[in-house]
Amino acid sequence: MEDVDIEERVKAVMVAHLSLEEAQLLPQASLVDQLYLDSLDLLDLVLALNDAFGIDIGAKNVFEIKTVGDVYQLVRRLLAQDRVASREPVEK
Q: CA 13, 80, 33: angle at the middle one, nearest 5?
A: 40
38 is catalytic: yes
Radius of gyration of the chain (CA): 14
Task: Please report, for residues 14, 20, 36, the alpha-carbon distance to residue 79 in angstroms, rounded to integers and kept in the order given.
Answer: 18, 24, 27
Task: Please report, for residues 15, 37, 67, 76, the alpha-carbon distance to residue 2 in angstroms, rounded to integers and kept in the order given.
Answer: 20, 27, 20, 9
Please identify which of the residues 38, 51, 56, 70 carries the catalytic annotation: 38
Active site members: 38
